[in-house]
Amino acid sequence: MRPFAYARADDVDTAIATVLARPDGEFLAGGTTEIDLVRQDVLRPGLLVDINDLPLDRVDDLPDGGVRIGGLARMSDVAEAPGVAERFPVISEALLQGASPQLRTMASMAGNLCQRVRCGYFRDAVSPCNKRDPGSGCAAITGFHRGHAVLGTSDKCIATHPSDAAVALVALDAVVRTRGPHGERAVPIDEFFLLPGDTPEREHPLEHGELITAIDVPGAATARRSSYLKVRDRASYEFALVSVAAAMDVRYRTVADIRLALGGVATKPWRARTAERSLLGGPATREAFAEAARRELAPATPLPQNEFKVELAQRAIVRALTALADGDEEGGTR
Amino acid sequence: MAIHVGSPPLEGTSKARTVALTVNGEGVELRIEPRVSLLDALREHLGLTGTKKGCDQGTCGACTVWSDGRRVLSCLTLAVAGEGHEITTVEGLQDGGELHPMQAAFIAHDAFQCGYCTPGQLMSAVALLEEGRAADDEIAEWMSGNICRCAAYPNIRDAIREVRDAAGGE
Ligand SMILES: Cc1cc2nc3c(=O)[nH]c(=O)nc-3n(C[C@H](O)[C@H](O)[C@H](O)COP(=O)(O)OP(=O)(O)OC[C@H]3O[C@@H](n4cnc5c(N)ncnc54)[C@H](O)[C@@H]3O)c2cc1C
Ligand code: SF4
Ligand code: FES
Ligand code: FES
């Protein structure tokens, strides 16, 4: 492992100033992405600024019924926080189906959003990879790409965004709050994740030294009836082949509100707006779910090994929505 | 645009420094560079070789230890970041020469073959009971961060159930 300098900050502005002082400075939270990739020689920071002592690990209720999740709150703590588990079950479920118990106690929510892709060519530190080494090419397009994306791809990069939690947060219109060299800002989460386009090395709009302080999830009654469905090669401790974050409100067998996002199939956590539009105000039937899923996946650009994801994603959407609709029926309140 | 951050930056260094850790209740000092993982500090610098290195990438769980009582992976933790936290390794499970009940149960149930994953399995198994995730249908999922190449899983689960039941709960 290459040497790097280390400093531990205990207030936000010192952490930011310390990263800013060196062009090769980076924040270190749980380290489950950062230390792994430094050891693989994929990332080469000259300085790691340990932010684990910053007071950003709380989960607080917001006046509108939402929650503010501190950037350093751990995946395990957020999953169990009452405000999250009761009002936003889809977030809890996505967190608890991610990584392993050990990793979840270490990993922070901000780090989870900033985690890097699991593409084997990105991680091997030698293959052509436009994300790691811009302009060098993409080994996955002509190589092994079974786990790669079918939506939001470009001819420069087809890696899937690996986060589960981000899929739930994108479905719920979360807002990423930051503090950096130019002050504070709030970025809608859908704009936080960038498509690869011609610049796959740029995954989010954070400037050097800009720190994620919190993630706000706005209150949404619909989110109480929400769920996360993750389809993977083994039952646990594995990244998604396809995942679905869904919240739905069915009244008189009609879709009164719907939030839908997909993981494992796209280069960013994928808000399924086409499917949402197709469903809103219409019947909550299996046929309508299938039609919405078909429309969402219509623009997919699969490659030979990941073509199965197009069908798998549609089936997962139908299963997730059918389960939510049946839950509504059984609840019998409407 | 002007930079609004008024705080002075910290000096960071990549040089070896004295790092003070608390391991199994004892204070220890070691001189290491920041890049040394907690796993290597334990094994190579402190001679605590119970904790094992399987993958060094966060995927196998062989290196599981506790930090302030919570299970973490020592391969992805920097030793220097362990300052200020109570680290517990498998060597810290025994009590005055007596095996921890989970260790005894692992032996009784033959919960290992080669034994390489066992220290990590033990640290997770004891933590699992603390976390209250030891119901019959929870154990597999909450032990999934510990891979056993010999597939001793059924026996590991039996050992955990025995300790859970002896402690009188789920
Ligand atoms: C074996 C394995 C399996 C996994 N499985 C899953 C899975 O199934 N689902 C899933 O969602 N995830 C999974 N993960 C990924 C894991 O969730 C992430 O590695 C973790 O969330 C990253 O958080 P961290 O705090 O450890 O970040 P770090 O590794 O400390 O940091 C990651 C990046 O974020 C930056 N950063 C950290 N905090 C901030 C901040 N506050 N502001 C700005 N930048 C910041 C760092 O500079 C760094 O670039 C897995 C990881 C491993 C190793
Ligand atoms: S898919 Fe993206 S990350 Fe993987 S090799 Fe191609 S450019 Fe690199
Ligand atoms: S050695 Fe740490 S998880 Fe494998
Ligand atoms: S006993 Fe051999 S790896 Fe588990």
Which CATH number does the domain housing residue B21 bear?
3.10.20.30
Are residue B21 and residue B87 in the same domain, yes or no? yes
Number of domains in chain A: 2
Least confident of A111-125, A157-171, B6-20, B62-76: B6-20
Q: Could you tell me the residue range of the domain that residue A10 belongs to?
A: 1-52
Residue ending a domain, among B92, B117, B145, is: B92
- Closest ligand by atom to A167 CA: 1
Atom of ligand 2 nearest to the CA of A158: 1
pLDDT at residue number A124 = 97
Q: Which of A18, A103, A183 lies closest to B10 in CB terms?
A: A18
Are residue B67 and residue B110 in the same domain, yes or no? no
pLDDT at B119 over 90: yes
Task: Note whether A181 contacts B4, CB cutoff 8 Å.
Answer: yes
Gap between the Cα atoms of A128 and A198, Å rounded: 15
Q: What mean pLDDT do residues A193-220 have? A: 98
Residue type, A254: T
pLDDT band, residue B3 (cuts 50/70/90): low
Interfacial B residues in 104-143 facing A (CB < 8 Å)? 124, 127-128, 131, 133, 140-142
pLDDT at residue number A332 = 42
pLDDT band, residue A331 (cuts 50/70/90): very low
Atom of ligand 4 nearest to the CA of B121: 4
pLDDT at A333 over 90: no
Q: Could you tell me the residue range of the domain that residue B25 belongs to?
A: 17-92
Atom of ligand 3 nearest to the CA of B56: 1
Number of domains in chain B: 2
pLDDT at B88 over 60: yes
Gap between the Cα atoms of B83 and B69, Å rounded: 15
Q: Please indicate, yes or no, if residue A171 is contained in any of the structural domains.
A: no
Q: Which of B57, B64, B80 lies closest to A102 in CB terms?
A: B64
Task: Note whether A101 contacts B33, CB cutoff 8 Å.
Answer: no
pLDDT at residue number A302 = 98
Atom of ligand 1 nearest to the CA of A33: 29
Q: Please indicate, yes or no, if residue A46 is contained in any of the structural domains.
A: yes
Contacts of B51 (CB under 8 A, 6+ apart): B39, B42, B43, B62, B63, B64, B65, B74, B89, B90, B119, B120
Task: Note whether B12 contacts A103, CB cutoff 8 Å.
Answer: no
**3-state class (DSSP) for residue A132:** coil
Q: What spacing in Å lies between the alpha carbon of A50 and ligand 4's midpoint?
A: 34
CATH number, residue A33: 3.30.43.10
pLDDT at residue number B2 = 46
Q: Please indicate, yes or no, if residue B8 is contained in any of the structural domains.
A: no
b/e map of B117-146 (b: 16 or more CB within 10 Å)?
A: bbbbbbbbbbbbbebeebeeeebebbbbbb
Q: Which residues of A touch B128 (CB under 8 A)?
A: 101
Contacts of A333 (CB under 8 A, 6+ apart): none
Predicted TM-score of the model (pTM)? 0.97
Q: Are residues A89 and A82 in contact, defined by beta-carbon separation less than 8 angstroms? A: no
Q: What mean pLDDT do residues A304-317 have? A: 98
pLDDT band, residue B7 (cuts 50/70/90): confident
Gap between the Cα atoms of B93 and A239, Å rounded: 32
Q: Please indicate, yes or no, if residue B6 is contained in any of the structural domains.
A: no
Kindly state the percentage of chain A with pLDDT values over 70: 98
Gap between the Cα atoms of B136 and A321, Å rounded: 29
Q: Please indicate, yes or no, if residue A68 is contained in any of the structural domains.
A: no
Residue ending a domain, among B51, B75, B92, is: B92
Q: Which of A2, A11, A237 lies closest to B145 in CB terms?
A: A237
Tell me the H-state helices in chain B: 38-40, 101-108, 118-131, 139-142, 153-166
- Residues near ligand 1 with C-beta < 6 Å? A 26-34, 36, 71, 98-99, 103, 106-108, 110-112, 114-115, 162-165, 211-212, 239; B 58-59
Q: Please indicate, yes or no, if residue A230 is contained in any of the structural domains.
A: yes
Q: What mean pLDDT do residues B142-170 have? A: 94
Q: Please indicate, yes or no, if residue A98 is contained in any of the structural domains.
A: no
Are residue B78 and residue B110 in the same domain, yes or no? no
Task: Note whether A182 contacts B4, CB cutoff 8 Å.
Answer: yes
Q: What spacing in Å lies between the alpha carbon of A170 and ligand 2's midpoint?
A: 23
User: What single DSSP character describes residue B144?
Assistant: T
What is the four-CA torsion angle of A307, A312, A313, A316, rounded to 10 degrees? 180
Q: What mean pLDDT do residues A132-160 have? A: 98
Q: What DSSP letter does each residue of A180-203 carry, written as one string?
A: ETTEEEEEEHHHHSPP-TT-TT--
Are residue B71 and residue B121 in the same domain, yes or no? no
pLDDT at B101 over 80: yes
Are residue B161 and residue B107 in the same domain, yes or no? yes
Are residue B106 and residue B85 in the same domain, yes or no? no
B65: distance to nearest CA of chain A, Å?
Answer: 9
Q: Please indicate, yes or no, if residue B5 is contained in any of the structural domains.
A: no
Task: Note whether A182 contacts B72, CB cutoff 8 Å.
Answer: no
pLDDT at residue number A328 = 64
Q: Which of B33, B81, B124 lies closest to A50 in CB terms?
A: B81
Q: Please indicate, yes or no, if residue A178 is contained in any of the structural domains.
A: no
Q: pLDDT tens across A59-116, in order? A: 999 999 999 999 999 999 999 999 999 999 999 999 999 999 999 999 999 999 999 9
Q: Please indicate, yes or no, if residue A292 is contained in any of the structural domains.
A: yes
Task: Note whether B10 contacts A49, CB cutoff 8 Å.
Answer: yes
Gap between the Cα atoms of A72 and A210, Å rounded: 14
Token pair 């009244």 is found at: A251
Are residue B49 and residue B85 in the same domain, yes or no? yes
Interfacial B residues in 4-43 facing A (CB < 8 Å)? 4-14, 33-35, 37
Residue ending a domain, among B92, B127, B156, is: B92
Task: Note whether B77 contacts A14, CB cutoff 8 Å.
Answer: no
Q: Please indicate, yes or no, if residue A22 is contained in any of the structural domains.
A: yes
Residue ending a domain, among A9, A31, A52, is: A52
Residue ending a domain, among A16, A36, A52, is: A52
How many angstroms separate the Cα of A107 from the Cα of each of A98, A110, A111, B26?
11, 9, 7, 27
Q: What spacing in Å lies between the alpha carbon of B149 and ligand 4's midpoint?
A: 5
